[in-house]
Amino acid sequence: MFTSKEIASVTNGVLKGADAEITSISTDTRTIEKGALFVAVKGENFDGNDFIDKAFENGAACALTDVKNGLNVENPVIYVENSRIAQLKLARYYRDKFGVKICGVTGSVGKTSTKDMIYAVLSAKYPTLKTEGNLNNDIGLPKTLFRLDESFKAAVIEMGMDDLGQISALSETVHPNCAVITNIGWCHIENLKTRENILKAKLEILDGMDNGSPLIINGDDEMLKTVEIDDRKVVRYGFNANNDIYADNIVHTENGEKFTLHYDGRAYPAEVPVKGGHHIMNALAAFCVGIEFNMTAEEIIPAFMNYEASGMRQRIEKRGEYTLILDCYNASPTSMESSLSVLGTMNGRKAAVLGDMLELGEMSKTLHEGLADAVEKNADIVFLYGKEMKALRDELFRREFPVFHSENKYELTELLLQNLKKGDNVLLKGSRGMKMEEIADKIK
């Protein structure tokens, strides 16, 4: 895979010790393999430099560190200015060894489900690599690229951020052949202050792309539809007929959505195996990517039905007498409204169990209150968990809508269990920090 001298050269590092053959890259001593390079990175809750001795004990052939004073070890060590930046450089160097075509995906909401839909499409024709789990930052993204080998012909890589400059660094690492931006919402407004800054941050995905590489964007998004780039092909998708690819004639079914897809003057019947109009949007984005990857409409559209959701994202399952919509991975105003719209399509009484949306800063009260219309339209009863949800509780009280609220998870769970009825449909949705799946676990 590499030699330690090669890695030192790529990362502008200094190698102390003998040259070594490197067969894999790891930041985790628990899963490290013999012959690996251990990259000591500092995260929010850990410092990899504290585990370098353990890495060598477990078989590492070399370590990469940004400790400035040197380590008291006999094994080969590469010293760099910044381990995280060095790992990105190494990942880009490795990525360029392969002729694989890569689609980069970012956006405020729906990155993962869009990535999974693109994967469903591309893998129908090509051996395709995709981002797994939440490996979409500067520590996790290289792990995906290091999985590349000659067997892959395509890849779809998710890129996340919470501040300016981060997507730029990820895009420079990935060097995508095309990119998708799903939308510009309110996530990370606490850091970025304005949606204009969020748009600026998402457009950084262009930084690692060649000039002729296409940008695929949600043409219905109020921020993205303003994007005009003179020297780049911009492809727009959405429900509006002004877009390059659009959908209409939507029919909600028991198992998903049927619609008509319009492309290049032709209309195609299409279907996705999941409920919610946002999944149609994901399919439209995936269609655009498929076209850019030299697939035909006839190859792409049947592949929508291969879609499988990742993790705790909008999974519908029967649990005893109830139907649960488990969407516990994260939450923003846009994704809350999308999940509530799915609840609204269900037959029977509809109960929404909603947890706080975090990281909304000074906009939090307004954005929580703003969910009231979607709740009123799609739910019959609502259970709210967390201090930020007090704003929505007060607005629903004002409207005389049936609502229960608590800042105590145990108390809220008990209220839910006491009020559920046979045949109820139950949506559980909240930010990752609210751990809404713990409430779901009590519904048998």
Find, among 317, 293, 296, the residue nearest to 119 by Cα: 293
To the nearest whole percent, how much of the chain has pLDDT over 90? 78
Determine how β-strand 178-181 pairs with β-strand 101-106: parallel
Q: Hey, what long-range contacts does 433-438 have (CB within 8 A, 24 or more apart)?
A: 433/356, 433/358, 434/331, 434/355, 434/356, 434/358, 434/385, 434/386, 435/328, 435/409, 436/328, 436/353, 436/355, 436/385, 437/312, 437/326, 437/328, 438/409, 438/413
Q: How many angstroms separate the Cα of 243 from the Cα of each of 248, 285, 357?
A: 12, 12, 31
Q: Give the mean pLDDT of 386-398.
A: 96
At the top level of CATH, the class of 98-306 is alpha beta
pLDDT in tens, 124-180: 999 999 999 889 999 999 999 999 999 999 999 999 988 899 999 999 999 999 999
Q: State yes or no: pLDDT of 190 exceeds 80.
A: no
Q: How far apart are CA 188 and CA 357, in angstroms?
A: 11
The helix/strand/coil state of 96 is coil
The helix/strand/coil state of 277 is helix
The helix/strand/coil state of 49 is helix
Between 301 and 440, name the one with better pLDDT. 301
CATH numeric code, 2-82:
3.40.1390.10
Q: Where are the alpha helices (DSSP H) in 3-140?
A: 4-10, 52-57, 83-95, 111-122
pLDDT in tens, 14-53: 999 999 999 999 999 999 999 999 999 988 788 899 999 9
To the nearest whole percent, how much of the chain has pLDDT over 70? 99
Domains 2-82 and 98-306 share a fold: no
pLDDT at position 38, please? 97
pTM of the predicted model as reported, rounded to 2 decimal places: 0.84
The helix/strand/coil state of 236 is strand
pLDDT at position 188, please? 66
Find, among 374, 343, 334, the residue nearest to 218 by Cα: 334
pLDDT at position 312, please? 63
Class of residue 130 by CB neighbours under 10 A (exposed 0-12, middle 13-18, buried 19+)? buried
The ranges assigned to domains in the chain are: 2-82, 98-306, 315-440
Average pLDDT across the chain, whole number? 93
Which residue, chain included where needed, has tokens 């608590």?
406
Q: Check: CATH 1.10.1060.10 for 315-440?
A: no
pLDDT at position 311, please? 64
| Residue 242 CA neighbour count, 13 Å, CB half | 5
pLDDT in tens, 46-62: 889 999 999 999 999 99
Q: How far apart are CA 89 and CA 111, in angstroms?
A: 24
Class of residue 386 by CB neighbours under 10 A (exposed 0-12, middle 13-18, buried 19+)? buried
DSSP labels for 284-331?
HHHHHHHHHTT--HHHHHHHGGG----TTSSEEEEETTEEEEEE-S--
